[in-house]
Structure 1
């Protein structure tokens, strides 16, 4: 008989059983209770090997849960994403016959995902160009399928590996108002990317649902002993042994199990005095990681069984024993025995369908990593050959295997097929990711590049173009000589579209212009490119140049093309003309039909409503804008145009800011500022939050995640600066106009006239170069004031004259109101107080007629100031009281407080509430300010005043700026007039003109 190494009998090796469910009773109870009250969202998180899958296995065996028809899926660690692959595969396995289900025509969207169900699914609907709408329609269809199947619990494991489409689908399910299905998701927190959509689901419990978050921790020593005992026929395990193993495995159940199996294989387990203990060695080398334990256990199997393990690690998913044997490359006469041996080792397991796979992903990865690279490539090639024989072909997995096998040609073939499948399903984002990888791969064929570029869905480029590698790859192809003119034009058009959608307007327009000569045989593409060049926001072309491109596009649109294409061109033309302030745009818009026969046509009509509403808002036709937006919102909801829906919402927020509908506006704007993947939408919402905060005082709402939260931004000025800088960086020439005007107002109010003027230089240059004076509406008054404040009255007069000329003969209500405001500012700055009061009165009336009450109240306040200066005290005070009441009713606390102080300074009987602390001078001049202004009235410059009072010139400048703010003027001249009318006289003993030759440093 063989002796052991120690000279005794060979050790008795224990027979090992599968471990029982240990140490998770409380977690099982919480999970079962949550699923008993649907709908619930349950998140199970923990490190690898901690027991997440085992917990799910136990709960799915509970009678109450099983009765709700759970559907379990697992996210594989593949690089290639298949559109909704985990859920699709699980549904395919659970419902082999779809004919018995009651489905609506919407289910036709699922045909590309389930080609084997083609004859039983409704016809496929028309494709949608809008990425958001297409994806939302796909999600609705898949949710309908799951509902028809009666799925009450959707379980998804390893969500940290989920593709974006699957994560977005989970968010869609969680947010459904009619939701009945519960969700159970498992993931490893440490493996979740920081920008993963999963973070939104884990950080924001869906409203109206049960929400349970279970964190699985390590087993303690008694639980470790119980787990070990369950593997050893229930016999006792010494506490010392359990403590030893718990310490070295950190209490991770899978590590404990693998260590027990390895110790058994090593004969390091002995039974002594009725309990299992470790051998009396100084120490037993327990592997420090699960991978090490698996690697050692695998090395103890026969070479044939090891080949099966390597094949299973490459496949990385449950497969039939025949497929596993084929991929392993073993002869038929030994393959079956090798598969059985690998299963008996406990490393592989069988599911209820008889498919074989690793029991844990970590074990599969350990075997994969220790497989030599040449062997891995050969296994991937055999896996691909085996999977190609399946119907339907798993194109995403084939792409994965060919990539890992190093077969670039086959990888490109199947990656393109996967992208085609994603496009056909409406999953534009997955398609873009795959096509991006194809286009930026190493030296792809030029002809293929042209084909791949043309497949890129137009509205799904966010995030890829900004990285630069895609545009560089396309430009390399364009710079070569291998493309035919038609292909070159197609690539250039797509590149232009990508750049435009990413906000790189100038670069995108340049590519479109280069493409036009090669588009003679493509009238729609040529007309679309010309219309895009005719769009004012994209470049610094003049209005005349834009109009020339629009007219060329109209000529091209007379050539043969589809009704939907022609409709798209009309929408673009109307939008561009209205953006330029051209009345002809309304006539073009009137040509648009009320409905369309196709989904694409309806999409174009929905887009037209938004664009025309935007133009109406810019023109000051606010009632018309609201009607169009309300109709567009209903249409977007009816047809599930999610992206359009969100853009309409933010446009309504902006409109409500203009029209004074401020109740709840801060919260709505902040919520939209957090919308993912829509930077321009976020910026518009962020702008409104900043404008609103500036008026109401303090923070109207927390802007939440998104641009406002980056880098700790959040103040009014920081948000305005962020919007301004983003608009300048992206080349969207009209985006910076409004934030620049708001920032300039702040600077002018604090006495920094030069900075205010600088902020308006860019907008003024844009308006002058483009000759689109409609765009001056927001910044024209503050620019006029800034020019006067820096003592450039001639330039101020010229600017107002140019504005009047540019608006002459046009019916632009908002711009006309701004012009009247500019006339009031100009007259006030030149000391013509009565004329200024009349102009501000006309401006207030014009603003209120829109209605735009906030601007009307600001004009009323300035009219009151001018009346007081002109000597009409009673009317001026009455107007101030009216302005204060209006600001208070609107919620503009900052402005109401300012007017209150002005009334008090003018001697009106106002109630004042003192809340303690040091009293200030409010809007009255302090004694030190009074000394400065009296010397200023003698004609002294700032340095001369500083010398006379023994102060620094900087202090004198600050005190003069403070005086100007208190008197609501923006120049020394206007301040002198106001001081004289208020009865303040020059200081005696200082001759006018003293210190001549020194320039003012204001």
Structure 2
């Protein structure tokens, strides 16, 4: 018999036993990061709310809205605000730093400390906001921060999560839920999930669909706990693929339509063949929505337009319902299961797909009408929710208000350091709104300025900005001055996008019409003077720098003049011009103004970098130390990270390798490193791996660097990874591959006469030419190197030039001359000092001595080289030299390989690593990926650990290890 009056209950939490255990195990070992992934409706939020948000873990739950242009840190800010609803910050003792949060929590202004002095560096401002927000979360005693739907997170929120991870706060764990298919290719979520510092527990938990048994259990829990027929369970599973939300929605619809009935003590489908369950959630949602009364349907449509948790009052106002009617309508919508209380005093759809289905079913006219109402209602709130207002008035096609609020939202985002949101809002405005040229020009200038302030890698948004600015320029009715104010930043954006000739053209066209702004004119000239890639010879760059020098005196503020001087000095030195040192000497030794300190720090840092290219290491270290101190005094976080990165490269060159690998690993794990554009630690990591014998990992590093190197920098960083990659390929016998990777950087150096940057590249390029049988080409390269370097006092390229001369002598069958040449070159390398290069050059001298028949001298020198390389840690090279010595009959020992200690019945460190990851529920393959080992090695270490602990299962291993105190258990 049918029983249509029977209530359909909320579904029980079923089929997630394993996932619950893994989640609990991970959170018992803080700090932990749980990456909870799965498709829409799969049950990520249910798992979180059942075993994290509702538990005793002290969780703070943030939810990301489905809009990329949400205000800076919006999800985290909203979560904190809700956690202190009605209480504010009263009674909470926070430091003065928390005053930086006033723009984010204006309603708490009475409780917040005064706002600190504004920072001109956007990254420093954002970092300060991060630190303040982290302090506030700490005062809330949060042990688990949950961020749901993180695939929709704005960039600032993701950067904040990276910041929290880098702080290594031991008591805080992260649970992030997302849909893998909706994670953008360049999302920071990928970095967040792949570069955890040591000590973190990481679990990647993928929620699969329910199987038939779990599907039956879920349906049974909704229908009074009574059994569900096998046929009905299989039918539902087949039609819904076991997605919990689809199963639940289908059951509700079937029950409302009286298509599911009790029969012989179990629930069955009335006719499995005649009536099909709707295949998608959308179909079920729409049919349920149509069964609502008119008022309830209007309330649901208003909620769909608001597209997020909203108060009853706001939904009623948008729906046009009186308070009494609204209460009844919302109660009906909640009973239908379409809307639910979000535990924060608001109502929202149970899943975003439900709201989207309702919204898409509305006519365009009705959508615009409700967006207009939503905008008018939100205009009465203080402070204005400008992002939401922008979205609603855009959808309502009220372009005037849309422009007003979009620009306000962009200004707020930019002030908080979130330039990506600012850019997104203005791009959408310029691309869509019917703006006349007088209104479009200031927006285009603002867009260009915000876009140049972004620190993200070149992405789709970057290219969209370029297209938008070009569209504005193509209007044809712009005044020359307006064109120049757009072309100037557009040129810089084109440089970043590697469109060098277009960038040069835009900057060149901008300069004549920037007379009203001589500072920007001088900056554009200086950019044109940078020796970036492109077809222009050094003479072109030098003419622009000379023009900038004529304009610069007396213009702008002291900050402007200091920045222009520093940039011109660095550009001249990058071009190998000795007079760059005199320009650098014009920089003051000390300044007191905060912005002058930041500009001086930046300038000294750039000059230190080019000094490294020249081989003036003591000078570089002194400038780098001064830049680091200035960065510390001004809170210039990005430059501080960059300075540390450059110091790592100096330590590599000068042979200070002890502990360098650990420092480099820590720098790579730091959240501020890549945003600073500092790739030196990645380079040094590759060089250390190449010298240490991990050639495959080193090659991957070098390839990545050649792809990722910043193109708008004076730093010639791509030259060194190209040389290092070519060295690896040449050692492997791949002469053609080594030639290919050195072709382009060698052309750039020759075209721009930047021979001061040829220390590494020219040597391997000459070896490649000789290995390819192109002796004439090698001779031409040496002649060009010698002529291009001239009499410039650059110790590193001088030593490289001596090495190349000796190599050509050796290839020409003159071993005695080559040996003498290599000895002179080795002495030059040692004087820098560059002990690694000196040792490699002495190895070449020794082989020339052997070729000259001076076996004893050659063998003795090779023996010295072997010990030098072994002490440095250059195992690859030491092994090669050792092989050569043994062929000469000289006994050598690999002093760096002392053998592994035995651990008896105790777990070794590697076995402990495997046991720790087993306890988090990972498979052997996942453990292998996490530890960069083969699955076979992991299996052997797992078996060994189980044997030592006397267990026969993975679960027993985890329990035994925790009980024995070998793995961390629950921590307070």
TM-score category of the 2 structures, normalised to the smaller one:
0.7 to 0.9
Q: Paired residue for 2:358? A: 367
Match of 2:174, SS state, is strand
Q: 1:116 and 2:111 equivalent? A: no
Q: Paired residue for 2:937? A: none
Report the Cα offset of residue 494 of structure 1.
0.8
Q: 1:404 and 2:395 equivalent? A: yes
- The CA RMSD over aligned residues, in Å, is 4.4
Which residue, 486, 493, 500 being the options, matches 1:498? 493
From the superposition, tell whether residues 795 and 345 of structure 1 become closer, same or farther in structure 2 (CA, over 3 Å). Answer: closer
Which residue, 34, 52, 56 being the options, matches 1:64? 56
Q: Paired residue for 2:941? A: none
From the superposition, tell whether residues 47 and 603 of structure 1 become closer, same or farther in structure 2 (CA, over 3 Å). Answer: same
Greater Rg over alpha carbons, structure: 1
* Equivalences for residues 213-224 of structure 1 within 5 A: 214-217=205-208
Which residue, 845, 849, 853 being the options, matches 1:863? 845
Q: Paired residue for 2:528? A: 533
Q: 1:561 and 2:553 equivalent? A: no
Q: Which ranges in structure 1 are unaligned for 5 or more consecutive residues?
A: 1-7, 915-1002
2:60 and 2:736 mapped to 1: Cα distance? 66
From the superposition, tell whether residues 210 and 738 of structure 1 become closer, same or farther in structure 2 (CA, over 3 Å). Answer: closer
Paired residues of 2:642 and 2:678 also in contact (CA < 8 A): no
Larger deviation, residues 295-304 vs 761-770: 761-770
Which residue, 334, 337, 352 being the options, matches 2:328? 337
Paired residues of 1:536 and 1:580 also in contact (CA < 8 A): yes
Match of 1:301, SS state, is coil
Q: Paired residue for 2:378? A: 387
1:548 and 1:687 mapped to 2: Cα distance? 33
Larger deviation, residues 387-396 vs 625-634: 625-634
* Equivalences for residues 83-122 of structure 1 within 5 A: 83-95=72-84, 97-98=88-89, 100-118=91-109, 120-122=111-113
Report the Cα offset of residue 847 of structure 1.
1.0
Q: Paired residue for 2:616? A: 621
1:793 and 1:280 mapped to 2: Cα distance? 85
From the superposition, tell whether residues 750 and 462 of structure 1 become closer, same or farther in structure 2 (CA, over 3 Å). Answer: closer
Match of 1:186, SS state, is strand
Report the Cα offset of residue 473 of structure 1.
3.1
Which residue, 176, 187, 194 being the options, matches 1:196? 187
Report the Cα offset of residue 127 of structure 1.
5.3
Q: 1:74 and 2:63 equivalent? A: yes
Match of 2:56, SS state, is helix
Larger deviation, residues 756-765 vs 165-174: 756-765
- Cα deviations by residue, 1:193-247 (Å, 9 ceiling, x for unpaired): 4543334444566643455555545556676566556555667767776666566
1:746 and 1:180 mapped to 2: Cα distance? 44
Match of 1:536, SS state, is coil
Report the TM-score, using the length of structure 1 for normalisation. Answer: 0.77
Paired residues of 1:504 and 1:731 also in contact (CA < 8 A): no
Q: Paired residue for 2:505? A: 510
Larger deviation, residues 578-587 vs 294-303: 578-587
- Cα deviations by residue, 1:842-861 (Å, 9 ceiling, x for unpaired): 22111111111233233323
Which residue, 405, 414, 423 being the options, matches 1:432? 423
Report the Cα offset of residue 728 of structure 1.
12
Match of 1:64, SS state, is coil
2:707 and 2:662 mapped to 1: Cα distance? 24
- Cα deviations by residue, 1:517-576 (Å, 9 ceiling, x for unpaired): 122221221222222233334556555554443343344333342232222122212212
Paired residues of 2:68 and 2:153 also in contact (CA < 8 A): no
From the superposition, tell whether residues 21 and 550 of structure 1 become closer, same or farther in structure 2 (CA, over 3 Å). Answer: same
Q: 1:654 and 2:634 equivalent? A: no
1:727 and 1:155 mapped to 2: Cα distance? 34
Q: 1:54 and 2:49 equivalent? A: no
Paired residues of 1:78 and 1:397 also in contact (CA < 8 A): no
Paired residues of 1:505 and 1:732 also in contact (CA < 8 A): no
Paired residues of 2:458 and 2:496 also in contact (CA < 8 A): no
- Cα deviations by residue, 1:249-298 (Å, 9 ceiling, x for unpaired): 55544444434433332234556777766658876543333332222222
Larger deviation, residues 386-395 vs 343-352: 343-352
From the superposition, tell whether residues 265 and 629 of structure 1 become closer, same or farther in structure 2 (CA, over 3 Å). Answer: same
* Equivalences for residues 346-745 of structure 1 within 5 A: 346-352=337-343, 354-441=345-432, 444=435, 445=437, 446-447=440-441, 448-460=443-455, 462-464=457-459, 468-537=463-532, 541=536, 543=538, 545-593=540-588, 596-597=591-592, 599-629=594-624, 632=627, 641=636, 643-662=638-657, 688=684, 695=691, 698-700=693-695, 702=697, 719=702, 734=716, 737-738=719-720
Match of 2:453, SS state, is coil
Match of 2:556, SS state, is coil
Match of 2:421, SS state, is helix
Q: Which has the higher contact order (CA 8 A, sep 6+)?
A: 2
2:163 and 2:767 mapped to 1: Cα distance? 51
Report the TM-score, using the length of structure 2 for normalisation. Answer: 0.79
Report the Cα offset of residue 121 of structure 1.
3.9
From the superposition, tell whether residues 345 and 800 of structure 1 become closer, same or farther in structure 2 (CA, over 3 Å). Answer: closer
* Equivalences for residues 861-940 of structure 1 within 5 A: 861-867=843-849, 874-893=856-875, 895-896=877-878, 899=881, 909-911=889-891
From the superposition, tell whether residues 278 and 405 of structure 1 become closer, same or farther in structure 2 (CA, over 3 Å). Answer: same
Q: Paired residue for 1:167? A: 158
2:11 and 2:741 mapped to 1: Cα distance? 71
Q: Paired residue for 1:968? A: none
From the superposition, tell whether residues 327 and 547 of structure 1 become closer, same or farther in structure 2 (CA, over 3 Å). Answer: same
From the superposition, tell whether residues 282 and 585 of structure 1 become closer, same or farther in structure 2 (CA, over 3 Å). Answer: closer
Q: Paired residue for 1:155? A: 146
- Cα deviations by residue, 1:867-890 (Å, 9 ceiling, x for unpaired): 456565554443343334434444
- Cα deviations by residue, 1:690-739 (Å, 9 ceiling, x for unpaired): 6556655x424725xxxx65xxxx7xxxx46x766888999989456445
Paired residues of 1:727 and 1:733 also in contact (CA < 8 A): no
Q: Paired residue for 2:899? A: none
Give aligned pairs, total.
Answer: 887
Q: 1:299 and 2:309 equivalent? A: no
Report the Cα offset of residue 315 of structure 1.
1.2
Larger deviation, residues 859-868 vs 306-315: 859-868
Report the Cα offset of residue 87 of structure 1.
1.5
Paired residues of 2:33 and 2:174 also in contact (CA < 8 A): yes
Paired residues of 2:311 and 2:347 also in contact (CA < 8 A): yes
Q: Which ranges in structure 2 are unaligned for 5 or more consecutive residues?
A: 895-972
From the superposition, tell whether residues 320 and 820 of structure 1 become closer, same or farther in structure 2 (CA, over 3 Å). Answer: closer
Report the Cα offset of residue 425 of structure 1.
0.8
Paired residues of 1:620 and 1:813 also in contact (CA < 8 A): yes
Report the Cα offset of residue 493 of structure 1.
1.4
Match of 2:176, SS state, is strand
Which residue, 13, 22, 30 being the options, matches 2:5? 13
Larger deviation, residues 428-437 vs 462-471: 462-471
2:834 and 2:676 mapped to 1: Cα distance? 24
Larger deviation, residues 208-217 vs 285-294: 208-217
From the superposition, tell whether residues 504 and 194 of structure 1 become closer, same or farther in structure 2 (CA, over 3 Å). Answer: closer
Match of 1:155, SS state, is strand
From the superposition, tell whether residues 126 and 512 of structure 1 become closer, same or farther in structure 2 (CA, over 3 Å). Answer: farther
Q: 1:838 and 2:833 equivalent? A: no
Match of 1:184, SS state, is strand
Larger deviation, residues 460-469 vs 557-566: 460-469
From the superposition, tell whether residues 55 and 557 of structure 1 become closer, same or farther in structure 2 (CA, over 3 Å). Answer: same
Report the Cα offset of residue 405 of structure 1.
3.0
2:64 and 2:493 mapped to 1: Cα distance? 31
Paired residues of 2:452 and 2:493 also in contact (CA < 8 A): no
1:310 and 1:254 mapped to 2: Cα distance? 20
1:207 and 1:749 mapped to 2: Cα distance? 33
From the superposition, tell whether residues 440 and 559 of structure 1 become closer, same or farther in structure 2 (CA, over 3 Å). Answer: farther
